[in-house]
Amino acid sequence: MPLAMTDLIPLLADAESDIDNGKDESAELRAINHIRDILDLPMLRPSFPPTALTTSVTDAVSGIGTELVAAKHLQTRVFLGHGSADEKVSVTLGRAMADFLKQRLNMDATWRVYEDLGHWYKIPDEIDDIVHFLKEKVGVPVSEEINANSAS
Protein backbone atom coordinates (compact mmCIF):
# COMPACT_ATOMS: atom_id res chain seq x y z
CA MET A 1 0.00 0.00 0.00
CA PRO A 2 1.50 3.33 -0.98
CA LEU A 3 0.01 5.28 1.93
CA ALA A 4 1.60 5.64 5.33
CA MET A 5 0.26 6.76 8.65
CA THR A 6 2.99 8.27 10.76
CA ASP A 7 2.94 5.79 13.67
CA LEU A 8 6.18 4.16 12.43
CA ILE A 9 8.02 7.46 12.08
CA PRO A 10 9.70 7.17 15.53
CA LEU A 11 11.51 4.12 14.11
CA LEU A 12 13.36 6.46 11.75
CA ALA A 13 16.10 7.03 14.33
CA ASP A 14 16.66 3.26 14.49
CA ALA A 15 16.87 3.03 10.70
CA GLU A 16 19.31 5.94 10.54
CA SER A 17 21.37 4.38 13.34
CA ASP A 18 21.52 1.13 11.40
CA ILE A 19 22.74 3.05 8.36
CA ASP A 20 25.43 4.84 10.32
CA ASN A 21 26.68 1.73 12.21
CA GLY A 22 26.74 -0.87 9.42
CA LYS A 23 30.02 -2.28 8.16
CA ASP A 24 29.66 -4.61 5.20
CA GLU A 25 26.42 -3.33 3.70
CA SER A 26 25.53 -0.17 1.86
CA ALA A 27 23.56 2.41 3.82
CA GLU A 28 20.52 1.73 1.68
CA LEU A 29 20.69 -2.03 2.22
CA ARG A 30 21.04 -1.60 5.99
CA ALA A 31 17.98 0.67 6.03
CA ILE A 32 16.00 -1.80 3.95
CA ASN A 33 17.03 -4.71 6.18
CA HIS A 34 16.07 -2.74 9.28
CA ILE A 35 12.58 -2.19 7.90
CA ARG A 36 12.38 -5.81 6.70
CA ASP A 37 13.32 -6.93 10.24
CA ILE A 38 10.51 -4.84 11.72
CA LEU A 39 8.10 -6.43 9.22
CA ASP A 40 9.48 -9.92 10.00
CA LEU A 41 10.70 -10.39 6.43
CA PRO A 42 13.92 -12.20 5.51
CA MET A 43 17.05 -10.06 5.28
CA LEU A 44 18.68 -9.31 1.96
CA ARG A 45 22.30 -10.47 1.67
CA PRO A 46 25.22 -8.04 1.41
CA SER A 47 25.98 -9.61 -1.97
CA PHE A 48 22.71 -8.11 -3.17
CA PRO A 49 23.71 -6.04 -6.22
CA PRO A 50 23.98 -2.35 -5.22
CA THR A 51 22.63 -1.30 -8.62
CA ALA A 52 19.37 -3.09 -7.85
CA LEU A 53 18.55 -0.34 -5.36
CA THR A 54 18.51 2.29 -8.09
CA THR A 55 17.88 0.25 -11.22
CA SER A 56 14.39 -0.39 -12.48
CA VAL A 57 13.48 -4.05 -12.14
CA THR A 58 12.40 -4.10 -15.78
CA ASP A 59 15.77 -2.66 -16.87
CA ALA A 60 17.88 -4.88 -14.62
CA VAL A 61 19.95 -7.74 -15.93
CA SER A 62 17.99 -10.98 -15.92
CA GLY A 63 19.21 -13.81 -13.72
CA ILE A 64 19.98 -11.72 -10.65
CA GLY A 65 17.37 -13.72 -8.79
CA THR A 66 14.52 -13.12 -6.40
CA GLU A 67 16.39 -10.60 -4.27
CA LEU A 68 16.18 -8.04 -7.06
CA VAL A 69 12.43 -8.44 -7.01
CA ALA A 70 12.53 -7.83 -3.24
CA ALA A 71 13.97 -4.36 -3.95
CA LYS A 72 10.96 -3.54 -6.11
CA HIS A 73 9.35 -2.00 -3.02
CA LEU A 74 11.77 0.90 -3.48
CA GLN A 75 9.72 1.79 -6.55
CA THR A 76 6.56 2.10 -4.45
CA ARG A 77 5.28 5.66 -4.40
CA VAL A 78 4.64 6.84 -0.86
CA PHE A 79 2.24 9.47 0.49
CA LEU A 80 2.99 10.89 3.94
CA GLY A 81 0.52 13.31 5.50
CA HIS A 82 1.05 14.89 8.91
CA GLY A 83 -0.66 17.44 11.12
CA SER A 84 1.41 20.47 12.10
CA ALA A 85 -0.15 20.44 15.59
CA ASP A 86 0.40 16.72 16.26
CA GLU A 87 1.42 16.40 19.92
CA LYS A 88 2.00 12.62 19.79
CA VAL A 89 4.39 12.47 16.82
CA SER A 90 6.29 15.62 15.90
CA VAL A 91 5.83 16.94 12.39
CA THR A 92 9.64 17.18 12.34
CA LEU A 93 9.81 13.37 12.46
CA GLY A 94 7.35 13.12 9.58
CA ARG A 95 9.42 15.51 7.50
CA ALA A 96 12.57 13.56 8.42
CA MET A 97 10.93 10.32 7.27
CA ALA A 98 9.93 11.88 3.94
CA ASP A 99 13.48 13.21 3.48
CA PHE A 100 14.93 9.80 4.43
CA LEU A 101 12.78 8.02 1.85
CA LYS A 102 13.58 10.57 -0.86
CA GLN A 103 17.25 11.23 -0.22
CA ARG A 104 18.61 8.02 1.32
CA LEU A 105 16.45 5.44 -0.45
CA ASN A 106 15.75 7.46 -3.61
CA MET A 107 12.02 6.76 -3.34
CA ASP A 108 9.16 8.80 -4.77
CA ALA A 109 7.67 10.20 -1.55
CA THR A 110 4.95 12.85 -1.45
CA TRP A 111 4.97 14.92 1.77
CA ARG A 112 2.03 17.05 2.92
CA VAL A 113 1.63 19.03 6.15
CA TYR A 114 -1.85 19.99 7.34
CA GLU A 115 -1.93 23.21 9.36
CA ASP A 116 -3.54 23.12 12.81
CA LEU A 117 -4.17 19.36 12.55
CA GLY A 118 -3.34 17.10 15.48
CA HIS A 119 -2.80 13.33 15.53
CA TRP A 120 -5.56 12.46 13.07
CA TYR A 121 -6.42 12.79 9.40
CA LYS A 122 -8.02 15.86 7.87
CA ILE A 123 -11.30 15.73 5.98
CA PRO A 124 -11.59 16.80 3.20
CA ASP A 125 -8.05 18.13 2.60
CA GLU A 126 -5.94 15.06 3.37
CA ILE A 127 -8.47 12.63 1.90
CA ASP A 128 -8.59 14.73 -1.29
CA ASP A 129 -4.79 14.69 -1.43
CA ILE A 130 -4.80 10.90 -1.02
CA VAL A 131 -7.35 10.51 -3.83
CA HIS A 132 -5.26 12.78 -6.06
CA PHE A 133 -2.09 10.85 -5.14
CA LEU A 134 -3.71 7.50 -5.95
CA LYS A 135 -4.97 8.84 -9.28
CA GLU A 136 -1.86 10.72 -10.41
CA LYS A 137 1.02 8.74 -8.88
CA VAL A 138 -0.37 5.21 -8.66
CA GLY A 139 -2.78 5.21 -11.60
CA VAL A 140 -5.85 4.16 -9.64
CA PRO A 141 -8.96 5.05 -11.65
CA VAL A 142 -11.10 7.60 -9.84
CA SER A 143 -14.80 7.92 -10.62
CA GLU A 144 -16.06 11.29 -11.85
CA GLU A 145 -18.16 11.64 -8.68
CA ILE A 146 -15.09 11.31 -6.45
CA ASN A 147 -13.12 13.54 -8.79
CA ALA A 148 -15.79 16.26 -8.59
CA ASN A 149 -15.90 16.04 -4.79
CA SER A 150 -12.15 16.41 -4.44
CA ALA A 151 -12.05 19.35 -6.85
CA SER A 152 -14.56 21.32 -4.80
**Per-residue pLDDT reduced to its tens digit, 84-127:** 999 988 999 889 989 988 888 788 999 999 999 999 989 999 99
Element (DSSP H or E) covering residue 5: none
Under the banding of pLDDT at 50, 70 and 90, the label for residue 57 is very low
Owning domain of residue 52: 3-151
Task: Look at the chain and report how many structural domains it folds into.
Answer: 1
Q: Provide the whole-model pTM.
A: 0.56
